[in-house]
Amino acid sequence: MPLSNIQIVHQDAALLVINKPTLLLSVPGRAEDNRDCLVTRLQENGFPEARIVHRLDWETSGLIVLARDADSHRELSRQFHDRETEKAYTALCWGQPEQDSGSIDLPLRYDPPTKPRHVVDHDLGKHALTFWQVLERCGDFSRVELTPITGRSHQLRVHMLSIG
C-alpha cells in the first residue's frame, strides 16, 4: 500500500514522526484482512528499518514516533516505559461533564465478550489514570484535552464513558 495519506512530520537518522490518519492500524492485526497498517506501509515504502515504539488505536489520528535503528528503538521504548514522554489528546465527546476538569483513576481490563474492548474492573483491572480538561462546550458534545498518565488499551474512551 502507498504512503499517500501518511504525512511525515519529522525524520532524521534516529527516528520518524508520522501523522497517523484515522482508520489505519499502527501495527498489523492478527486476522489476515488486518495486515494493512502504518508500520508495514512505511517499511514497504522507503523505511524498511522502521520500528514501532508506541501505538495509536485504529480510530485515533495523531503523531506517532518510530525508531530507525535498534539503539533508538531501545531508548525510545525505555522513555515510554518509564513514562518520561508527555502525551496529550484532543477528543470530541458526547455529553457535558459536570466539572471543567478532573482526573479519572479507574482500573481497566480486557473484556473477552466484547473484544477488543476494555472495561472498568475494580477487582481484576490494572491501574489507569487520566487527567482531563474541557476546552469547549458545544451543545450535545464537548471538546476535551486528555492526558493519560498510564497507557492502557482503550483507556481514554473507557475513562470518558465512566464520567458520562
Flag whether pLDDT at 34 surpasses 90: no
| 93-112: average pLDDT | 94
Report the predicted TM-score, pTM, of the whole model to 2 decimal places.
0.81
Average pLDDT of the chain is 92
The domains of the chain, with CATH numbers, are 7-81 (3.30.2350.10), 89-162 (3.30.2350.10)
**In 15-148, at which residue ranges do the beta strands (DSSP E only) sit?**
15-20, 51-52, 62-67, 89-94, 101-105, 108-110, 118-120, 129-138, 141-148
The catalytic residue positions are 57
**pLDDT class for 2, splitting at 50, 70, 90?**
low
The answer, yes or no, to whether residue 73 has pLDDT greater than 90, is yes
* Grid cell listed for 139: 451543545
The answer to which of 13-22, 55-64, 68-77 has the lowest mean pLDDT is: 55-64
